[in-house]
Amino acid sequence: MRFLQATVVSRHCAALKGLAYPRNYATIAEPAAPAVKTQAIPGPRSLELKGKLSAIQNVVPVQLFADYEKSIGNYLVDVDGNVLLDVYTQISSIPLGYNHPRLLNVFQNEKNLKTLINRPALGVFPGKEWPEQLNSILTKIAPKGLSNLTTMMCGSCSNENAYKNIFIWYRRNQRGENVDFTDAEMQSCMINQPPGAPKLSILSFNGAFHGRTLGALSTTHSKYIHKIDVPSFDWPIASFPQYQYPLAENERHNKEQDQRCLAEVEELIEKYNKKGIPVAGIIVEPIQSEGGDNEASPEFFQGLQKIGKQRGVALLIDEVQTGGGCTGKIWCHEHFNLDGPPDVVTFSKKMQLGGYFHKEEFKPQQGYRVFNTWMGDPSKLLLLQEVINVIQEENLLKNVNIAGKVLKDGLLDLEKEYSHILNSTRGRGTFLAVNCQNGKARDDIVNRLRMKGIQTGGCGEISIRFRPALTFQEKHANIVLDVFRSVLREL
| Residues classed as catalytic | 209, 318, 349, 373
- 143-182 residues in contact with a second copy (CB under 8 A) are 147-150, 153-157, 160-161, 163-164, 167-168, 170-171, 181
* 321, 290 contact by CB (below 8 A): yes
Please report whether residue 139 would count as binding a second copy according to CB under 8 A. no
Number of residues that bind a second copy (CB under 8 A): 142
Q: Which is nearer to a second copy, 157 or 414 (CB)?
A: 157
3-state secondary structure labels for all residues of 152-208: ECCHHHHHHHHHHHHHHHHHHHHHCCCCCCCHHHHHHHHCCCCCCCCCCEEEEECCC
Tell me the C-alpha to C-alpha distance, in Å, between residue 46 and each of 20, 49, 62, 323. Answer: 31, 5, 9, 32
By CB under 8 A, what part of segment 105-124 binds a second copy? 105-111, 113-121, 123-124
In terms of residues, how long is the chain?
Answer: 491
Task: Determine if 1 is a binding residue for a second copy (CB under 8 A).
Answer: no
Q: Which of the ranges 231-239, 306-314, 391-399, 437-445 carries the binding residues for a second copy, by CB under 8 A?
A: 231-239
Single out the residue of 123, 186, 138 nearest to residue 372, CA to CA.
123
Question: Could you give the CA distance from residue 403 to residue 470 in angstroms, rounded to a whole number?
Answer: 9
By CB under 8 A, residue 200 contacts a second copy:
yes
Q: Rule CB under 8 A: is residue 225 a binding residue for a second copy?
A: yes
Residue 3 found at the interface with a second copy (CB under 8 A): no
Under the binding rule (CB under 8 A), the answer on residue 81 touching a second copy is no
Binder among 87, 268, 313, 370 for a second copy (CB under 8 A): 370
Residues 239, 206: Cα–Cα separation, whole Å: 5
Stretch that binds a second copy, among 31-39, 132-140, 416-424, 472-480 (CB under 8 A): 132-140
Q: Are the C-beta atoms of 177 and 390 separated by less than 8 Å?
A: no
Decide whether 187 or 486 has the Cβ nearer to a second copy. 187
DSSP state of 318: E
Verify binding: residue 41, a second copy, rule CB under 8 A: no
Cβ proximity of 433 and 408 under 8 Å? no
Q: How far is the CB of 242 from a second copy (least distance, A)?
A: 16
**Interface with a second copy in residues 44-63 (CB under 8 A):** 45, 49, 52-53, 55-63
Is 99 an interacting residue with respect to a second copy (CB under 8 A)? yes
Q: How many Å apart are CA 146 and CA 148, to the nearest integer?
A: 6
Task: Provide the minimum distance between the beta carbon of 121 and a second copy in the complex, in angstroms, as a whole number.
Answer: 4
Pick the piece of the chain touching a second copy (CB under 8 A) from 191-199, 291-299, 332-340, 475-483.
191-199
- Close Cβ partners of 236 (under 8 Å, ≥ 6 residues apart): 201, 203, 204, 268, 269, 271, 272, 277, 279
Give the pairing type, strands 83-86 and 454-455. parallel
Question: Distance between CA 436 and CA 422 in Å, rounded?
Answer: 5
Which residues between 296 and 355 bind a second copy (CB under 8 A)?
Answer: 348-349, 352
- The rounded distance, in Å, linking the Cα atoms of 342 and 32 is 42
Cα–Cα distance, 337 to 450 (Å, whole number):
38
CB of 464 to a second copy, least distance (A): 16
Q: Give the residue, chosen from 136, 299, 302, 371, that forms a contact with a second copy under the rule CB under 8 A.
A: 371
Stretch binding a second copy (CB under 8 A), from 96-104, 258-266, 327-335, 412-420: 96-104
The minimum distance between CB 39 and a second copy, in angstroms, equals 20
